[in-house]
Amino acid sequence: MERRLICINCPRGCELIVETDDTSGAFISVEGSACIRGSSFALAEINRPERMMTSVVSIKGAKNCMLPVISRRPLPKAKIVEAVRAMRAITVDAPVHEGDIIARDIVGTGVDVIAARSL
């Protein structure tokens, strides 16, 4: 089976043509990448797609009412919506420093969510 992907590793956005096994869906080959990172991206997209999560949580006692947060590393793509929903239930108290852990092991992924700025 042929799948078309856009590599998101840099602004060039190479269009990748990925060949997978018709039965198992296993990765076979990729064409269209201008560098090795495109091949790695295609392999990861087929086997275990991941994305960084950015969101906001409520904060009390700061000049702003929302604190931007980011996952410390990429989450499984299938867990992103669930993770963003989980952020809605979180309220923290100021002061918060950039890099402080806001949520540990978000939705069972083993990934922590941290403050993206100080407030």
Quote the least distance from Cβ 47 to ligand SF4, whole Å. 17
**Binding stretches for ligand SF4 (CB under 6 A):** 7, 9-10, 12-14, 33-35, 37-38
Quote the least distance from Cβ 10 to ligand SF4, whole Å. 3
Cβ nearer to ligand SF4, comparing 37 with 117: 37
Cβ nearer to ligand SF4, comparing 37 with 104: 37
H or E element in which residue 18 lies: strand 15-20
- Compute φ and ψ for 85, nearest 5 degrees: -65, -40
> Cα separation of 84 and 62, whole Å?
22
> Cα separation of 58 and 27, whole Å?
41
Quote the least distance from Cβ 74 to ligand SF4, whole Å. 16
Quote the least distance from Cβ 2 to ligand SF4, whole Å. 18
> Cα separation of 6 and 13, whole Å?
6
Cβ nearer to ligand SF4, comparing 7 with 87: 7
Q: Where are the alpha helices (DSSP H) in 17-113?
A: 36-47, 80-87
